[in-house]
Amino acid sequence: MEKKLQTVRANNLKQKPEPDKLGFGKYFTDHMFVMDYEVDKGWYNPRITPYQPITLDPASMIFHYGQSVFEGLKAYRTEDDEILLFRPDKNMERMNRSNDRLSIPAIDEEQVLDYLIELIDLERDWVPNSEGTSLYIRPFIIATERNLRVAPAHSYKFLIILSPVGSYYPEGIHPVGIYVEDEFTRAVRGGTGTAKTGGNYSASYNAQEKASGNGQSQVLWLDALEKKYIEEVGSMNVFFKINGEVITPALSGSILEGITRMSIIEMLKDWGHTVVERKISIDEVFAAYDKGELEEVFGTGTAAVISPVGELQWKEKTIIINNRETGDLAKKLYNNITGIQTGKLADPYGWTIKVKEKVTKQGN
């Protein structure tokens, strides 16, 4: 089995977009990583190729039964022009947990991380350097077998594509409004909620439209069983600061195991805060508000890092949190996490990995 990475370079490199026009996931770099899977070969033929379309038979399983997983992480440019990754090993671990849930064959986490690093190294000029920008990394696996039977595929493709992305907060971090969804469901115990698989995301669009219709920018998901306990915000995890204590929903089997979530819990504990992972109901949050004890609410995820919540609408009631301002704790967490990610602050936790420059530059 050939496991050695083969590289075919693009003949013509693209013009890089202006840093203030990046947005999210609109532009892609010159190269991508691809490898294939067949039952009798395992994962094979790892290669870096020019960024290019995929050609698939219309009967390929990905088009019919949604057998797919993905990951999302970022590469950051430091002031010294080093390229840093933030806990990429955790993304590889989670990808294999997602693979397990979707009956997709496991990847070799260390090996794939090496391939990913080689790709980033080749594309290091694509990592933008403006405040808040980064290179978004999207590894994903799709079932490619050409067959309509309802069963795990016998062939897959694993790809990594890269997209330079703009600042989530071009005008500085600011709070968003959230609509508490009590009809649609994101995920349930025994379902696929902990996996990063496509179906979870398209399943959320109806609720997102409803939130927008209510003038709010994101959805807060309640548990499917009782429509009572808080699960996530949009595609982020969520934290509540109540009377000095930080509370986040415990991983219940239907909540995504966020790597930013995990990092924030570790950081808060390191700072001496009380952090509790437990069930928290929407009633409890509204009751805390009524008692004047709801100090801060914020979402956490790779895209925004920290997304403060300024307004929470549940049925006919809307509450304003912290006078619609970013709370001190959210601000401190944002500055510290992004500081570590971009190398501006020391990394006492060993979370960042430097992408060493080893690819020999060609021509131009």
Q: Which residues bind a second copy (CB under 8 A)?
A: 24-26, 28, 32, 51-59, 62-68, 70, 101-103, 136, 138, 140, 142-143, 147-152, 159, 161, 163, 183-192, 197-206, 208-209, 224-225, 234-235
Q: Contact 329/317 with Cβ under 8 angstroms?
A: no
Q: What gap in Å lies between CA 306 and CA 261, rounded to an integer?
A: 10
Our CB check for a second copy shows the closer of 60 and 322 to be 60
Our CB check for a second copy shows the closer of 142 and 267 to be 142
Q: Is 103 left (phi over 0), alpha (psi -120 to 50) or beta?
A: left
Our CB check for a second copy shows the closer of 203 and 319 to be 203
∠ CA 31-34-38, rounded to 5°: 170
The minimum distance between CB 176 and a second copy, in angstroms, equals 15
* CA-atom Rg of the chain in angstroms: 21
Our CB check for a second copy shows the closer of 192 and 248 to be 192
Rounding to the nearest 10 degrees, give the CA dihedral for residues 343, 347, 349, 353.
40
The minimum distance between CB 360 and a second copy, in angstroms, equals 26
Mode of pairing for the β-strands spanning 176-181 and 305-314: parallel
Q: What gap in Å lies between CA 254 and CA 191, rounded to an integer?
A: 7
The minimum distance between CB 298 and a second copy, in angstroms, equals 19
The minimum distance between CB 351 and a second copy, in angstroms, equals 24
Our CB check for a second copy shows the closer of 25 and 42 to be 25
Q: Contact 68/53 with Cβ under 8 angstroms?
A: no
Mode of pairing for the β-strands spanning 245-249 and 237-242: antiparallel
Q: How many Cα atoms within 13 Å fall on the side-chain side of residue 80?
A: 8
The minimum distance between CB 42 and a second copy, in angstroms, equals 19
Our CB check for a second copy shows the closer of 52 and 274 to be 52
Our CB check for a second copy shows the closer of 222 and 297 to be 222
Our CB check for a second copy shows the closer of 87 and 157 to be 157
The minimum distance between CB 311 and a second copy, in angstroms, equals 21
The minimum distance between CB 10 and a second copy, in angstroms, equals 14
The minimum distance between CB 25 and a second copy, in angstroms, equals 3
Amino acid at 118: E
Q: Tell me the CA distances in angstroms from 246 to 48, 115, 254, 285, 339, one per residue in order.
A: 44, 38, 21, 12, 22
The minimum distance between CB 257 and a second copy, in angstroms, equals 17
Our CB check for a second copy shows the closer of 64 and 273 to be 64
> 330 in helix, strand or coil?
helix
Q: What gap in Å lies between CA 26 and CA 23, rounded to an integer?
A: 7
Go through 227-254 and write b for each residue having 16 or more CB atoms within 10 A of its CB, e for each that does not.
eebbbbbbbbbbbbbbeeebbbbebbeb
